[in-house]
Amino acid sequence: MKSLRYEIEDHLQANNVFINAMTGRSAHIASYMTILDYDNLLTVFKQNKYTIQQLEVCIPEWMNDGYLSPIYKLLSMVVDRYIKTGEI
């Protein structure tokens, strides 16, 4: 069974949260030139597919993988801010 973190990442990727900066197409979180689409991320959060507790579990994992891609660290900070303030 896939871990929760990877399930969430796949869900975010399927909803075009990770975008290639050059082509504007969906990209993998760790791909070169990947950017975070804040509007799509907010749309995914509003779907309420994952609970706050589920998202909180993933924050340290994404933060620890920040050396692989800056998007991991950015995602962890944005999710943390969303949990604390309700805004991106």
Q: Show the domain range for 18.
A: 4-82
Residue 87 lies in a domain: no
Q: What is the mean pLDDT of each run of 10 residues along the chain (88 residues)?
A: 88 96 93 94 92 94 91 96 90
Residue 68: the pLDDT is: 85
Residue 88 lies in a domain: no
Residue 14 lies in a domain: yes
Show contacts of 41-49: CB within 8 Å, 24+ apart. Answer: 41/12, 41/17, 41/78, 41/88, 42/88, 43/15, 44/11, 44/12, 44/15, 44/17, 45/82, 45/88, 49/11
Alpha-carbon gap, residue 81 to 67, rounded angstroms: 20
Residue 48: the pLDDT is: 87
Based on the structure, what is the number of domains in the chain?
1
Tokens of residue 46, six digits: 């509003």
Residue 32 lies in a domain: yes
